[in-house]
Structure 1
């Protein structure tokens, strides 16, 4: 058991070291929502989407700025989480290199909550406007049938640079941060899917260590008993 405990400590320490530049949020998927197939729709927002079954990892470059009174958490970016399973637990992680010190905040919101909250709706509209092409077609209403119900959430990412430099240009215009945004569903609402292989490996190592330690213990015990047994007297 000492062997398995030591291995578990080593793996846990390694995982903590790898996750040094990771921020995440955990949530339950909402009930499916029927969205009318009219313009403007979610697709018209031109936001990047993450789907657990397809594009669960989004490689991006996030714009950042240093905190100000008006924006204490820097710049805001918006994304759509699609294809969720009602009531299933998920987590969204953002990973970035240590060479780009940044503070991140991640929040998820339902569609109705964003529409009913003026400051969130204003932030979303501003970000969406920045992503629109130069020439826009008229967003005329559509007479097509409503889309199938789907479980959807908005993801807001706030990013603030957290370093200091004597380079005034760098302080005024910090470069975008290379980041991976990961949507990870939970297995049985207990463990992130990406950690499944790691959990299986640790379990196998622990079981193997249990049997090996038991074999070594019995062997050492037999050696000790043999050493303590009195020597057989010799007969002339």
Structure 2
């Protein structure tokens, strides 16, 4: 009886989570020479994702979408830096957000030279970078001016995210200024360029369940065969009597 009284409370512990995902799959580009003399790419102050550490492969943030317009035909722009990539390595970058916040996202990874050679892209990048600069210019330490200019070779990409609001509301304030969208931006390297690393636990779980099912099913088959054999023997004994 107690088990039945718990049933109405069960839905309280299981809340469905519905989310949307937009992704792009790409290969790490060849390494290029990155000047270390100021100004550098780090001076753009872009959010950065790298596969080097667990806490650098994802970013939880808010993106503010806009409705498509002549000024923003595909939505608002956000720029990230995908750093410390491995040339030829397959990667997947995803944007995940709640389905309760209707938004259309477009993700495009760009090599550095493509952005720097495109007036539209470099203008968009500069506009976004300007919003992330400190209100007061930072002063270089005296020793920084004495460092000789040098270069490092790195494989990296710019990630351009376009966010367009995708809803209609009778609330005029929402139509003028859509609310920010909570998103998770995830950089996921592929294992052997075949399987996203984040899916490895799921694959291992499926393999364990499959092996356990094979083991248990074998025992069940042997048990059934034993029961059938014993019932046949009992039936034969009754016939002989």
The bucket for the TM-score relative to the shorter chain is: 0.7 to 0.9
SS of residue matched to 2:34: coil
Partner residue in 2 for 1:106: 107
Q: Deviations over 1:84-112 (max 9, x none)?
A: 11211111111112221111111101101
Alignment of 1:200 with 2:219, yes or no, is no
TM-score (norm 2): 0.82
Partner residue in 2 for 1:191: 195
Question: 2:79 & 2:93 partners in 1: Cα distance?
Answer: 13
Question: 1:184 & 1:235 partners in 2: Cα distance?
Answer: 71
Contact 2:18 2:98 in 1 (8 A): no
Alignment of 1:67 with 2:68, yes or no, is yes
Contact 2:92 2:187 in 1 (8 A): yes
SS of residue matched to 1:35: strand
Q: Deviations over 1:160-190 (max 9, x none)?
A: 1111111101110111111111111111111
Partner residue in 2 for 1:36: 35
Contact 2:78 2:161 in 1 (8 A): yes
Q: Which runs of 5+ in 2 are unaligned?
A: 1-15
Alpha-carbon shift at residue 155 of structure 1 (Å): 0.4
The match for 1:232 among 217, 234, 237 is 237
Partner residue in 2 for 1:79: 80
Aligned positions, number = 220
Question: 2:203 & 2:115 partners in 1: Cα distance?
Answer: 37
Q: Deviations over 1:19-75 (max 9, x none)?
A: 741111111101111112233321111111111123111111111111224423210
Alpha-carbon shift at residue 224 of structure 1 (Å): 2.3
Q: CA RMSD in A?
A: 2.5
The match for 2:152 among 124, 148, 152 is 148
TM-score (norm 1): 0.84
Partner residue in 1 for 2:121: 120
Question: 1:177 & 1:113 partners in 2: Cα distance?
Answer: 28
Contact 2:35 2:152 in 1 (8 A): no
